[in-house]
Amino acid sequence: MNRHTTILAETGAEVAPAPAAPASIAIVTDAWHPQTNGVVRTLSTTCEVLRGWGHQVTVISPEEYPSVPAPTYPEIRLALTAPGAVGRRLARIAPDAVHIATEGPLGFAARRYCLKRKVPFTTAYHTQFPDYLARRTGLPAGAFWPYIRWFHRPAETIMVATETIRAALREQGLTRLTHWSRGVDLACFSPAAPPPPEYAGLEGPILLYVGRIAVEKNIEAFLACDYPGTKVVVGDGPARAALAARFPDALFLGKKSGTALAGCYAGADVFVFPSRTDTFGLVMIEALACGTPVAAFPVPGPLDVVTPETGALSEDLTRAIDAARYCDRTACAAYGASYSWEAATRQFLSGLAALKEEEAVSLQTLPAF
């Protein structure tokens, strides 16, 4: 294997083909199955595409280690590793590139190991942790930015999904940024997906939310808005019981996936995305691919995804919903179909930092700690 092989470049609208020379890639992530969220879907789909192209991808995740539930968020497990365990795993893999996807315990251990050995690595900014933690702790978001800056600053590149997030990170002094978009499984998400039986007889219009049911997703703003019809929530999370009790007229369907999830999107009149803290919002392009327009606040994520033809943005969510209902569903589906996992994975490959021979030797042979 040639460790000096250039890993793909993408310029403008022209997308280079998948590289011919297979590479060994290590992805370190604290977010993995059985979690259900956009980060896990992005990473797992990227791995599938890479492996389909012949790359050897090793995922270092909490599945391999004892773990404890995250405070206030028990569905997320925090890995407990012995000193040097992640480093020894990287040494055995001896990959061509190391990508650290998250800022949790596993990402921290991999970062420390690579820095100790002067091995380049890349990171990604998937989650607005300062905003998430601010919502959960009551502290200002600014209290958490020093850790984010410290964690990402040594990376060769930081992968970001949108220009809005790129600008936010630049304001924090993080400038080595590269674009990594998202995609849609078009074999699954399309306007032809049959609506779920639970939709039968519901008062229209059907207004849909899909995603984690947690405080940082701001779902209360959706459920509390004064708009006729039926509000449907798909997903699960720590805030579900409280919201279901507070808003008994809303229909909570629990977790859905595959064609069942696609049918929920396709059968809805408007997809409502109330979050103010997401970096992208994968569910928005899934909804659009199913022909369903999006209503959201004018914040990062929606500002980068939603166009005047495919939805509406407003600080008044009721106005956004009303305007979105008049969007052309055919235009929505065409726009959603423009997001390709293959193109997104090429961007991921382009952003990786290939290890030179001497760096790979350093990664593999120096003693772990």
Concatenated DSSP letters of 144-186: THHHHHHHHTTSS-EEES-HHHHHHHHHTT---EEE----B-T
- Smallest CA-to-CA distance from 354 within 155, 177, 119, 97 is with 97
Rounded Cα distance between 165 and 172, Å, is: 11
Mean per-residue pLDDT pooled into runs of 10, the chain (369 residues): 33 41 92 89 97 97 90 77 92 95 96 95 91 82 94 98 95 96 96 97 97 95 97 96 98 96 98 95 97 97 97 98 98 97 96 78 56
Rounded Cα distance between 357 and 276, Å, is: 44
In sequence order, what are the residues at sequence separation of 6 or more whose Cβ sits closer than 8 angstroms to the Cβ of residue 302?
273, 281, 284, 294, 296, 311, 313
DSSP character for 331? Answer: H
3-state secondary structure of 208: strand
pLDDT of residue 1: 34
pLDDT of residue 136: 77
311 touches 143 (CB < 8 A) = no
Strand partners, 264: none
210 touches 234 (CB < 8 A) = yes
* Domain boundaries, given as residue ranges, for the chain: 24-183+342-365, 197-338
| Assigned token pair, 73 | 């968020």
3-state secondary structure of 119: coil
* Bridge pairing between strands 73-79 and 67-70: antiparallel
* Bridge pairing between strands 270-273 and 206-210: parallel
Rounded Cα distance between 344 and 8, Å, is: 12
| CATH code reported for the domain at 197-338 | 3.40.50.2000
- Smallest CA-to-CA distance from 124 within 166, 170, 160, 172 is with 160
Q: Which phi and psi (to 5°) does residue 157 adopt?
A: -145, 150
pLDDT of residue 369: 42
| Assigned token pair, 212 | 């984690």
In sequence order, what are the residues at sequence separation of 6 or more whose Cβ sits closer than 8 angstroms to the Cβ of residue 196?
253, 256, 260, 263, 264, 267
197-338 has the same fold as 24-183+342-365 = yes
* Residue 20 CB coordination number (10 Å): 8
Amino acid at 144: F
Residue with tokens 């064609």: 259
**Annotation: CATH topology of 24-183+342-365:** Rossmann fold (3.40.50)
Rounded Cα distance between 285 and 274, Å, is: 15
